[in-house]
A and B are shown apart, each in its own frame.
Chain A
């Protein structure tokens, strides 16, 4: 279908000239019934049959306008698609608003080939509708337009329109891979901390200094009349981890990306700082949801930058 109007800049209110309306299958059946009733009424000069034919004809015309009204003036506030991992189902989040005094029941939204999602929009409200969108492989899924329609109130007519708002769904690589998180990268080695505890590597003892935690004092040694000593640990690269594409040379490209994604996800979950080194891109170590997104996005678009736009 060719685009009748340019790209829509959200928010946009649906106006009259972009709405199309046609009878549904039920509407066609209803029309056929009306035709039959009219033939019978005329043939037998049956006044009541004719009257009910005309009444139901008027009814259908009223319904057509009601249906049209139900979509007319609906505001599309936003259409966004939060990034998801490959092999899962993403969603286009469509925010619709109804600023009129009447409810707009059963609005339907659909992506080009997607299933219909319907929602009621009470008077003066905003609502977000999630349109499922399959994300089979990493990269981007681009949606050019969203179809809004409604057959309310009687299902005899369906009015619809296309909202041309490009939405890009970023699909991260499927996080997968059995390799353990690399212990620590070369540049992070030597970063020391006295605060760590638990499974970190024990390095040795050093004399107590002001500010050392009492927990790290070697009390057993102290009890043996030794000077106050502090146990020192090297934290196993918990400070900085750099994940390198090049390190995974034995895997193919997608498997590498999946493994890197796995590490990014795990490192973030453990609250660690991590960075990413790809052939043409280097992301400095950091943490936080934003950093995670940056890393995963880089993995998602790896090798696709030229074709993505």
Chain B
């Protein structure tokens, strides 16, 4: 869809080069998914939380791990289960018998990248605890507020086909994820390479981080500086209005989703080495940003959610 090799000449400063290296490194770990990797990275650079949805075993966890590793971030992995309590994520007050006092023991959420595996298996109460922390980037326990580290990302994974004993995230909470990315099975060539290559996670150990915490923050700031022209806002607005007016969609995009769309497009543009957002950038991120937010009135009539995005893109001419 995009044309990365046609990048506007103004590209090529150091940050862009570094990011190219980040992408290249990620691609050696996750084979055959350059577009998805790029989307995931764009999501994080846009300061958005990521929802990866797929069947088990396609490398969701590896991807999250690799992202954290390459970006030089601290990370924690929490496997969500039905008996997981909010305190298991956020932290608990522990009674210190020696000092006869309570101490707050920080949970795994106090990290830069939290991989929330199979988030739909947890009870709604636990889910909402996580999602509230995601939104506010801080945690309250027993009347005290603890600020989460910067940057802070949640990469949540979810198995769409597993319905038994799971609690699908309600729409209001899905809205807090900037993007939803579907990995899908690798193609034949990469499948073969995977079969030959053994466990990808072992590869990670031998890879040096490309960026650091400070580097990620710099890039995040730079992403926010990517220029958004009025003409592009017009286009984005037309796209959003289209989702609200479409007869076959239950709900249109929320204003928060609209902001996210622009942020994601900025990041995508930055990854392509551009300094201003083009309609192509919006179109590239739209399916991932929109997919989990729009629902068909009559799901039976239409397959796959990305079709919704494609339909919207086709229906709105670029002004």
Contacts and interface: CB of A to CB of B under 8 A. Distances in A.
Chain A partners chain B: yes
B162 to A, nearest CB: 14
B85 A287 contact: no
Given A10-B247, A80-B247, A273-B124, A210 B171 contact: no
B280 interface: no
B170 A287 contact: yes
A211 B92 contact: yes
A158 to B, nearest CB: 27
A214 B142 contact: yes
A195 B170 contact: no
A183 B245 CA distance: 41
A284 to B, nearest CB: 9
A195 B86 contact: yes
Given A10-B247, A211-B85, A290 B170 contact: yes
Given A273-B124, A288-B171, A291-B170, A213 B142 contact: yes
B98 interface: no
Interface string B87-98: 110001111000
Contact of A286 (B170, B172, B246): B170
Interface residues of B, number: 24
Interface in A286-305: 286-291, 293
Given A286-B170, A290-B295, A214 B245 contact: no
Interface string A252-287: 000000000000000000000100000000000011
A289 B93 contact: no
B45 to A, nearest CB: 30
B245 A78 contact: yes
Contacts of B94: 210-211
Interface string B51-93: 0000000000000000000000000000000000111100011
Among A208, A290, A291: residue with most chain B CB under 10 A: A290
A211 B170 contact: no
B92 A210 contact: yes
Contacts of B241: 126
A95 interface: yes
Contact of A215 (B87, B142, B168): B142
Nearest to B86: A195
A287 B171 contact: no
Contacts of A217: 95
A77 B319 CA distance: 17
A228 B167 CA distance: 34
Interface string B283-319: 0000000000001000000000000000000010000
B171 A78 contact: no
Contacts of B86: 195
A234 interface: no
Contacts of B295: 290
A176 to B, nearest CB: 26
A291 B173 CA distance: 14
B21 interface: no
A273 B127 CA distance: 14
Contact of B88 (A211, A290, A293): A211
Contact of A289 (B88, B125, B171): B171
Given A195-B85, A228-B95, A273-B124, 11 more contacts: A10-B247, A195-B86, A208-B95, A211-B85, A211-B94, A213-B87, A214-B95, A214-B102, A286-B167, A287-B170, A288-B172
8 contacts: A80-B247, A128-B245, A165-B247, A211-B92, A214-B102, A273-B124, A287-B170, A290-B295
Q: Nearest 7 A-B pairs (CB), nearest first? A: A288-B170, A78-B245, A211-B92, A95-B245, A77-B245, A211-B87, A78-B247
